A = this chain, B = another copy of it.
Amino acid sequence: MRLPRIAELDESSSGWGFYLCARKERRTDRAGAEFLAVVLQDVSGQISAKVVHDVDAFQREFDAGDFVRVEGRANRPYQKLELLIEKIRRVDEAADRPEGFKEEDCIPCAPRPIEDMWQELRSRVERARNPWIRQLLTGILDRHGERLRIWPAALTVHHAYRGGLLEHVLKLAETGEALAAAYGADADLLLAGAVLHDLGKIDELSYDGVTSYSLHGNLLGHITIGVMLVREAASAIDGFPAGLRLRLEHMILSHHGERELGSPVEPMTAEAFILSSLDSLDATLHQVRRHVEDDRSEGDFTAYHPRLGRVLLKPSGR
């Protein structure tokens, strides 16, 4: 029987499935027995797994980074569910594609198709009335599109999957447009802020199905990297207005809202205030939604969310 997606496994699950092996280590248990400690991943999440017999043989069958075919059953020794692996081997495309293997099923991904999101973003950019902003953003999308399409928005906190950055950008473009209208703010500035504020993440993070901080990311941070990318792009446009460039750079620098949160300057324009407020809200609501969706606890409330520092009311609650 085919195993359900990782997010839907429970203690009774047993069968086979295709995964990306994200980590693999050989260890010795307290009783001295050796085993393979493995992390498996599919589109719905990650799970720890273990090979406890024929360890030498199975160890040669796959490596971290491989797509694998696994047979096993779920187990919950203490708090967390894990997978006891009975068989594991590297995917054999010829044999496994007919059985339903697809790479994209093994990589967590934004819920909406990337091509859809990308088209919406391009069309929003084309609708900008300020020609300088249109030209700047078009250039950015052309130059960095390969990464902008698929990048995650963060390592773990929110939108931490393929296409997460694009999903986050689009949501800010949408809400930014609404608040620009409500407050008579400059809609094109807010669109540019949405597209550019996290641009530095394409250098801050490295991503190839797995996300990590880059050397640049740790030492400079995505805010500074982003400002530099934007300055470079604006400098390449002949006659780009200096005042406009400054306002855009200010929005990127101030988008965390406060110095304690990593912004070296704080918002000084209506657009910068709006952008930082919407950015923070989008990150929070993404965490809220994921936590509620992933929650398996009983009762009206979810388990405690350590980063938010509270439990959340389930929408399905009384």
The answer to whether A218 touches B28 (Cβ under 8 A) is: no
Contact with B along A260-293 (1 / 0, CB 8 A): 1111111011100110010011001100110000
Residues of B within 8 A of A224 (CB): 224, 227, 249, 253, 264-265
> In the complex, how many angstroms separate the beta carbon of A253 from the nearest chain B beta carbon?
6
A218-239 contact mask (Cβ, 8 Å, vs B): 1 or 0: 1111011001100100000000
Q: How many residues of A contact B (CB 8 A)?
A: 67
Looking across the interface, which residue of chain B has its beta carbon closest to that of A246?
B219
A263–B273 Cα gap in the complex (Å)?
Answer: 20
- Interface residue? A310 (CB, 8 A): yes
Contact A318 B243 (CB under 8 A): yes
Closest to A50 in B: B30
Given A29-B30, A179-B175; A223-B264 close (CB under 8 Å): yes
Q: Is the CB of A289 within 8 A of B270?
A: yes
Instruction: Tell me if B274 and A76 are in contact (CB < 8 A).
Output: no
Report B-chain residues with C-beta under 8 Å of the C-beta of A143: none
- Whether A277 contacts B280 by the Cβ 8 Å rule is yes
Contact B247 A219 (CB under 8 A): yes
The listed residue (B183, B215, B231) touching A318 by CB distance below 8 A is B215
A259 at the interface (CB under 8 A from B): yes
Task: Give Cα A264 to B254, complex, Å.
Answer: 10
User: Known interface pairs A246-B216, A273-B288. Does A265 touch B174 (Cβ–Cβ under 8 Å)?
Assistant: no
Q: How many copies does the complex hold?
A: 6
The interface residues of chain A, by DSSP majority, are classed as: helix
Does A264 contact B262, Cβ atoms closer than 8 Å?
Answer: yes
B265 and A219 within 8 A (CB):
yes
CA distance A270 to B179 in the complex (A): 18
In the complex, residue of chain B having the shortest beta-carbon distance to the beta carbon of A212: B299
The yes or no answer to A250 lying at the interface (CB within 8 A) is yes
Give Cα A23 to B218, complex, Å. Answer: 39
**Of B28, B77, B301, B312, which one neighbours A75 at CB under 8 angstroms?**
B28
Q: Say yes or no: is A317 at the interface (Cβ < 8 Å to chain B).
A: yes
CA of A300 to CA of B273 in the docked complex: distance in angstroms? 18
Query: For A140, what are the chain B residues with a Cβ–Cβ distance below 8 Å?
Result: none
A182 at the interface (CB under 8 A from B): yes
| A306 CA / B199 CA spacing, docked (Å) | 29
Contacts of A175 in B (CB 8 A): 178-179, 182
- A253 in complex: contacting residue of B182, B221, B246, CB < 8 Å: B221
Extra contacts, 16 of them, besides A250-B313, A268-B301 (Cβ < 8 A), are A27-B76, A28-B76, A29-B77, A178-B182, A215-B246, A215-B317, A218-B268, A219-B265, A219-B268, A219-B313, A224-B227, A266-B310, A273-B288, A277-B277, A277-B280, A277-B284
A: residues with CB less than 8 A from B are: 27-32, 75-78, 84, 171, 174-175, 178-179, 182-183, 213, 215-216, 218-221, 223-224, 227-228, 231, 242-243, 246-247, 249-250, 253, 259-266, 268-270, 273-274, 277, 280-281, 284-285, 288-289, 300-301, 309-313, 315, 317-318
